[in-house]
Each structure stands twice: as C-alpha cells, then as structure tokens.
C-alpha cells in the first residue's frame, strides 16, 4: 500500500469495513429485520436440534430468521430446511417433529391437537400421550389419533409430493384415523406407506418397480466416439429415471448421469474404452429416489483401424530381378498388418496416390497379410480396413507409402537334364501277386540341375511327343501313377528361377507290362440221371490291372485246336459244359481294344462224368420157394448170390423171418455179389433181399423183390438148436 495516496487509503478501508458489515448481516439479519414481538404469541415448543440452514418465520412477520437451537417456536410458525439441513421441534406435550432437508411446514397447536400443514418435503413426528395430529392435504383434513392405553409412542413419517398428496408411514406404535368417505375409524397400517389424497381418501401406496432390460456384461463397440449406447429398463409407479454410469462399482465418481421420463436412454457422451458399471434410479414426483436397480457391468470398446507393419513408411525397396527379355520388370510386395481381435475380415487397397483416387488393386482376406499384384518401379500407397463378424466396418488404417526400384538381371538358361536310366521296364503287379514291398508305379529319375526351381516331364506313346502327358514337379524323380501297359517315350526339361526352360533331355523309354494271371483249380462234376444235359461250374482267376475283360477257352484237346470261347467282365464267372467228358480250360486278359493284355494262364482240367441211376440187383441163388434140408444142428452154410450192378460200389443184404422184414435176422453191406449164411437162423420160411449202393454218390437202388426159402431138419424139428 506504499503506492496509495491518503485518499485512496481512506476509500479502501471504508470498502473493507462495509464488506465486513454486510457479511455479518448475511450471517445474522436480526439487525435488519428485528424479530417480531412474541409477547402476544402462544408458545408451543422450541428447537431442540438445528443443523445447517434452518429458518423460522412467524405468521405476523415478513422475513425468515435463522432458527438456532433452543429458539422458541410459537403458534403458526413456519419452519424451513435447506439442502443437507435438518431440524427437530420439541412440543410442550413432549411430542417431537423431525424435519428432513428441503422441507417447509407450518405448526398449529390448539387444545392439545396438532394441525400439521406440510407444504412440501419430509418429516417424522413422534407423538406423546393423547396427542392427535390433523394432516392437511389439499382442501381436506385427516385426523390421526393415538390408541389409548398403548405404552409405545407412535412415530409417523410424513411426505408431501408435488401432486399435493401426503404420504404417511407408521413406524412405531398404534394410530387410528377417520375415513371421512366411508365414515369409519380405521387403524393406520404399520410400516406401510399410505397416501392421503386431496379429497381426504387414504390409500395404500403401491411400491415402485424397477428392472434392467439391457443384458449384463454387455460389450459396446463404438466406431465413432459419439455412437449412441442404448440402455433399456422397465419401471412402474415412478415419475422419472436417472441413469448413472461410473468407472467404480461404488459409484464414488459418476461419468454419465442422465435423467429421463422414458424407460430407455441413448448415451452419446464420449467415454474412454474400458470397464464400467451402470444403474438406474427411480424418482418420484418430488425428485426423490424411490427405487434403485442392481449394478451391472459393461464394457466399451472403440473399433480402431488396422495398423500396417510392413512395409515401413517411406520404405525403399530395391530388387534385381531375373526376367526374360520380353517380360515386364515388375514384382509383388507383401503387406502385413496388426489389428484388434474383433476384426475378422480385411479389405486392402493399393493406389498410386495418397488420396486413393487411382486404385490399382483391391482385395479381401481373413489373414493379416496380403500380396499386391506385380508392380513396376515407382511410388505406391497401401491401406487396410477391417470388418467384424457382425459386419461393422473399422476406419481405414493410416496409408503407408513405399517405393520400388527394380533392375533387370538376365539369367543363364539351365543345362539340360541327364536321365539316370534311359530304359525303364516295369511289370504291373496283379491282385494275387501283389507284394507290399514291390513298387506300385514305374519310377523315372534324372540328375539334379543347379539353379532350377521346377522340372517339366513329358510322356507320350510316340517319339514325336505330339499328344504327350505333361507334369510339373519339383524333385528330380517321379513315380508315374497314371501308367498303362504298353511302350512309352519320355523326356525332361529344367525350368530356371526366372522361368527360362532348358533344352530337353535325351528320350527315354518305358516298357510297361502286366504279370500273367493264374486260373484257379476247377472242381469235377458228377451227374446221375436218365440222359446227360449241359451243366455249369464256377470259375475264377487272379485279377489283372487295366483288364477290360477276360477270354476263357475250353477244349477237350490240350492244344486248343477248336476251343469254345466265353468272355467275362470280371475275374469270376460260370463255366458252361455242354456234354460229359474231360475238358481243358485256360483264360487270357484283354485290354480296352479287346487285344490280349497277357498270355494265356495255366491250364486246368474239369471232368464232367455222367451215369444212369443204380438198378436193383438180379437175384440168382437160391431159387424162390426153395426147400433146404439141414443134416446137422450146426450153422446152415447157405450161399446167397446175385448179379453185379454197373456203378455199384457195395451191396446191402437183409435176411428176415418176417415177410415185411419187420424183424431182421441179418443185415450187412458187402463189396462182392454173394453172401454165405453161417449164423443160426430159425427153421421154417426165410426171406431175403438186396440193393445196390454207390458210396461216392451216396446213392442206393431200389430193393429187389424178396425171395424166400424153407429150412427143414432131419428130425423134423421146428427150429435148429
């Protein structure tokens, strides 16, 4: 203040004094507005608790004065509480009224009855004795009375909404009220909010409902920082909703707070990527929070464009290329990039200008790299754009510029390949002769040629190679899996790194044959019947590769001078034999032109034998009805004989004393055509019969007509002893 003059100092000090005086008036305005004359007012209580901004005004005064602790409260006084402010009024009868922040109430006590006019806000009243409270709601009043004889002091919570209704909640004790509409006295329900309407009706207040509809742990993907984030919820019994988004679960700091009357909201505020928590508060008509949802977690991700990692910005690429004289000097460049895991597909562009007005090539890929088309020397720009699985498109990457400087280098023509084996012989294995260790295809090999990236092989049926089969291989040998029987010619070219082709190698030959086939043994055929007929027997042989069909020859002559020929499509079939006899059979494989593919197979013999059915034998001795006298009591020793039957290998004889052979005395199988009876048999009539049998065919003839003879003894006894 050394620079101030006396006049300036005087003005400054006066201003400071005036500022201090007005500051005190702001703290205590009783000097400006003296308190009313309270001598004539009826005292009803005092202020027991006053916190922060609490004011009092009498009905007869104009101004509000601070309500300090132990200040007197008179009839018709109004009490006001500001933000974060509370006051407790203790009435003379011992009742207490606790006034919540942002409330305004007028107190009137007459004849022990409290007339409570709650203009707005919240308060809690604790009644004592027989005190009654009249609540004013609109133009109607409702009277609350304590039940006589109750020991617990009633405690009631009051709340007045902007609609004019007064909400009541009985916290403790028992209170009754008069329902004017129904002219009845009712108990005020405990711990239940009821509303007193302007018409004096008391109704239970429905509990508000609030539920989140947007999914838990949702991941919002933003392409632009202000892309809307849609939130949705369902509410009932609420006036407005407050959406809050916070980076912390306890909502100690709030990033976004939005109030709306709708049950949804689009948040366009720019929010940094990361994890967040959100909830919705339900507000009543007074703006007070009536319900709060659970806290849900969410994530915000910004969709960023890919970042090109190769080539580097302003890269200078110098290459010496080996090209033919007529080829354009150009090369491809690989472009690589990195990107967010959300991006699955990519679009890349190559341009001759940084604005990408002239696009040389555009391509798509799901990899993190792409190969440009062949480019000549010059400057180029590349950029990449990504797409998510849900087809959201990212921004383009930063364009990257690179320069190509290409120089031609003439390469020498490769030397001609040298064949290792000029003549290759190969026998194609048949099905039965196939050995797992044997080669499956003919192999062609040549000496490797330096500075060669590829070989060109030609195989043809003629040495001019006009209709040659062509193969490009990277090794200096190949197994020709497409071979067919016959004679072929082959040659090899070497292709250099720049594509130049050498002179052809010498011409080699391929002789491909097929191994002979083997005819399986044939079974003999034996037929019994009245007359011989053509017959059949199965036939099979080894399978031959490349065979289109098989020719079977059959002849009685081993030289096959006049063979019977049959053609089969596979290596099995049915062989038809016209007449009985001994036949020779062989088979040969044919190619697609029905020319012999192999020599004839081994010769197998098949025998077709035929004979008539076995005839019943002709009985010879003894004659029928013969009488035979025995001289002794020993065995009879009687010969039975019959004629031989063609085709029979044995005979069955039966001897019985019953004409129907119901009891057999002797039954035997014999090789010859006679039988000597040496066993004891009864005296009297004896019957016998024979049939022919063939063991090889398991066949037997009919029984002969039975013959009989009679045995006698010289003593004329009935049976021999």
Query: Is 230 part of a structural domain of the chain?
Result: yes
Assign residue 167 the CATH number of its domain: 2.60.120.1440
Query: Is 18 part of a structural domain of the chain?
Result: no
Residues 245 and 153 in one domain: no
- At 720, the pLDDT band (50, 70, 90 cuts) reads very low
Residues 559 and 505 in one domain: no
The pLDDT value recorded for residue 483 is 80
Evaluate if residue 327 carries a pLDDT over 90. no
Contact 118, 134 (CB under 8 A): no
Which residues have C-beta within 8 Å of that of residue 3, sequence separation ≥ 6? Answer: none
Residues 62 and 200 in one domain: yes
Of 113-122, 174-183, 528-537, 557-566, the least confident = 174-183
Residue where a domain stops, chosen among 455, 482, 514: 514
**Segment 196-225 mean pLDDT:** 80
Residues 191 and 226 in one domain: no
The pLDDT value recorded for residue 208 is 83
CA 38 remoteness from chain centre:
86
Residues 663-675 pLDDT 10s: 999 999 998 899 9
**Mean pLDDT over the full length of the chain:** 83
The pLDDT value recorded for residue 715 is 59
* Residue 689: other Cβ atoms inside 10 A: 20
The pLDDT value recorded for residue 632 is 65
Query: Is 721 part of a structural domain of the chain?
Result: no
Say if pTM beats, i.e. exceeds, 0.75: no
Which residue's structure tokens are 């004839």?
600
The pLDDT value recorded for residue 385 is 92
Residues 99 and 169 in one domain: yes
DSSP state of 609: E
Domain count across the chain: 6
Choose between 259 and 409: higher pLDDT.
259
- At 643, the pLDDT band (50, 70, 90 cuts) reads very high
Residues 298 and 383 in one domain: no
Choose between 517 and 60: higher pLDDT.
517
Query: Is 317 part of a structural domain of the chain?
Result: yes
The pLDDT value recorded for residue 634 is 59
Contact 109, 90 (CB under 8 A): no
Query: Is 20 part of a structural domain of the chain?
Result: no
Query: Phi first, then psi: what are they for 54, rounded to 5°?
Result: -125, 130
In angstroms and rounded to an integer, the radius of gyration of the C-alpha atoms of the chain is 63
Query: Is 600 part of a structural domain of the chain?
Result: yes
The pLDDT value recorded for residue 155 is 79
**Segment 225-243 mean pLDDT:** 89
**Segment 506-517 mean pLDDT:** 87
Of 110-119, 236-245, 353-362, 363-372, the least confident = 110-119
Which residues have C-beta within 8 Å of that of residue 449, sequence separation ≥ 6? Answer: 414, 415, 416, 417, 455, 476, 494, 502
Residues 73 and 172 in one domain: yes
- At 412, the pLDDT band (50, 70, 90 cuts) reads confident
Assign residue 626 the CATH number of its domain: 2.60.40.10
Q: How far is CA 299 from CA 272, 276, 278, 340, in A?
A: 10, 6, 10, 15
Closest-CA residue to 493 (of 386, 415, 574): 415
DSSP state of 596: B
Residues 547 and 578 in one domain: yes
Residues 606 and 623 in one domain: no
Choose between 537 and 36: higher pLDDT.
537
Residues 433 and 558 in one domain: no
The pLDDT value recorded for residue 718 is 46
The pLDDT value recorded for residue 76 is 79
Closest-CA residue to 482 (of 546, 550, 548): 546
Of 22-31, 489-498, 582-591, 693-702, the least confident = 22-31
Query: Is 530 part of a structural domain of the chain?
Result: yes
Choose between 468 and 9: higher pLDDT.
468
The pLDDT value recorded for residue 14 is 79
- At 53, the pLDDT band (50, 70, 90 cuts) reads confident
Residues 514-557 pLDDT 10s: 878 889 998 888 888 778 889 889 999 988 888 899 999 999 89
Output b/e per residue, 532-549; b: 16+ Cβ within 10 A.
Answer: beebeeebbbbbbbbbee
The pLDDT value recorded for residue 399 is 94
3-class SS of residue 146: strand
Residues 376 and 445 in one domain: no
- The reply to whether omega before 622 is within 30° of 0 (cis) is yes
The pLDDT value recorded for residue 161 is 62
Contact 322, 329 (CB under 8 A): no
- At 91, the pLDDT band (50, 70, 90 cuts) reads confident
Full domain range(s) for residue 182: 33-204
Query: Is 491 part of a structural domain of the chain?
Result: yes
Residue where a domain stops, chosen among 586, 611, 636: 611
The pLDDT value recorded for residue 721 is 37
* Residue 499: other Cβ atoms inside 10 A: 13
Contact 720, 630 (CB under 8 A): yes
Residues 216 and 295 in one domain: yes
Q: What percent of the chain has pLDDT over 70?
A: 86
- At 297, the pLDDT band (50, 70, 90 cuts) reads very high
Which residues on adjacent β-strands are paired with residue 686?
709
Q: Which two tokens stand for residue 341?
A: 């895991």
Which residues on adjacent β-strands are paired with residue 247?
none
Residue where a domain stops, chosen among 171, 188, 204: 204
The edge-to-edge listing of strands for the beta sheet with 315-322 is 315-322, 400-409, 378-388, 343-351, 359-365
The pLDDT value recorded for residue 689 is 94
């Amino acid at each position: 203040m050394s620079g101030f003059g006396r006049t300036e100092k005087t003005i400054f000090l006066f201003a400071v004094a005036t500022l201090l005086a007005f500051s005190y008036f702001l703290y205590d305005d009783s000097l400006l507005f003296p308190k009313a004359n309270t001598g004539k007012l009826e005292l009803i209580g005092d202020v027991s608790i006053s916190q922060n901004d609490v004011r009092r005004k009498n009905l007869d005064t104009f101004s509000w004065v601070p309500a300090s602790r132990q200040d007197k409260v008179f009839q018709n006084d109004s009490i006001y509480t500001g933000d974060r402010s509370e006051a407790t009024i203790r009435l003379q009868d011992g009742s207490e009224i606790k006034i919540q922040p942002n409330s305004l109430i007028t107190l009137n006590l007459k004849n022990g009855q409290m007339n409570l006019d709650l203009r707005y806000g919240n308060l809690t009243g604790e009644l004592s004795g027989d005190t009654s409270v009249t609540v004013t709601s609109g133009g109607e009043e409702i009277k609350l009375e304590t039940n006589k004889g109750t020991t617990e002091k009633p405690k009631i919570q009051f709340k007045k909404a902007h609609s004019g209704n007064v909400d009541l909640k009985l916290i403790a004790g028992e209170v009754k009220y008069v329902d004017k509409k129904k002219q009845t006295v009712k108990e005020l329900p405990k711990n239940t909010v009821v509303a007193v309407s302007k018409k004096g009706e008391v109704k239970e207040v429905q509990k508000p409902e609030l539920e989140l509809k947007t999914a838990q742990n949702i991941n919002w993907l933003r392409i632009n920082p202000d892309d809307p984030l849609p939130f949705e919820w369902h509410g009932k019994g609420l006036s407005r909703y407050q959406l809050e988004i916070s980076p912390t679960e306890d909502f100690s700091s709030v990033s976004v707070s939005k109030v709306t009357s709708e049950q949804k909201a689009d948040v366009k505020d720019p929010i940094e990527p990361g994890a967040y928590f959100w909830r919705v508060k339900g507000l009543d008509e007074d703006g007070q929070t009536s319900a709060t949802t659970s806290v849900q977690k969410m994530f915000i991700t910004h969709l960023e464009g890919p970042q090109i990692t190769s080539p580097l910005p302003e890269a200078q690429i110098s290459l010496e290329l080996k090209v033919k004289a007529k080829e354009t000097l150009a090369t491809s460049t690989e472009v690589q990039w990195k990107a967010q895991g959300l991006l699955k597909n990519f679009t890349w562009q190559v341009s001759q200008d940084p604005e990408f007005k002239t696009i040389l090539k555009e391509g798509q890929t799901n990899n993190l790299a792409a190969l440009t088309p062949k480019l000549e020397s010059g400057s180029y720009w590349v950029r990449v754009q990504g797409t998510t699985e849900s087809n959201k498109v990212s921004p383009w990457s930063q364009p990257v510029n690179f320069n190509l400087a290409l120089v031609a280098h003439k390469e020498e023509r490769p030397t001609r390949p040298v064949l290792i084996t000029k003549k290759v012989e190969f026998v194609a294995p048949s099905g039965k002769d196939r050995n797992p260790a044997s080669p499956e295809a003919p192999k062609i090999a040549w000496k490797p040629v330096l500075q060669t990236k590829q070989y060109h092989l030609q195989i043809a049926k003629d040495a001019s190679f006009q209709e040659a089969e062509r193969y490009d291989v990277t090794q200096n040998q190949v197994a020709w899996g497409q071979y067919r029987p016959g004679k072929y010619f082959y040659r090899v070219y070497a292709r250099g790194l720049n594509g130049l082709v050498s002179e052809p190698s010498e011409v080699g030959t391929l002789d491909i044959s097929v191994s002979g086939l083997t005819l399986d043994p044939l079974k003999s055929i034996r037929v019994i019947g009245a007359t011989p007929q053509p017959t059949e027997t199965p036939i099979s042989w080894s399978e031959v590769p490349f065979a289109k069909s098989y020719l079977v020859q059959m002849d009685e002559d081993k030289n096959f001078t006049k063979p019977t020929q049959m053609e089969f499509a596979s290596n099995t079939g049915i062989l038809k034999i016209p007449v009985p006899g001994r036949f020779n059979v062989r088979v040969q494989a044919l190619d697609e032109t029905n020319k012999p593919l192999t020599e004839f197979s081994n010769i197998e013999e098949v025998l077709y034998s035929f004979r008539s059915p076995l005839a019943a034998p002709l009985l010879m001795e003894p004659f029928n009805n013969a009488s035979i006298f025995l001289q002794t009591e020993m065995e009879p020793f009687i010969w039975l004989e019959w004629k031989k039957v063609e085709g029979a290998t044995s005979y069955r004889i039966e001897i019985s004393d019953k004409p129907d052979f119901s009891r057999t005395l002797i039954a035997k199988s014999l090789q010859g055509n006679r039988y000597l009876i040496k066993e004891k048999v009864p005296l009297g009539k004896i019957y016998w019969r024979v049939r022919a049998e063939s063991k090889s065919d398991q066949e037997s003839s009919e029984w002969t007509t039975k013959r009989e003879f009679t045995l006698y003894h010289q003593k004329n006894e009935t049976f021999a002893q």
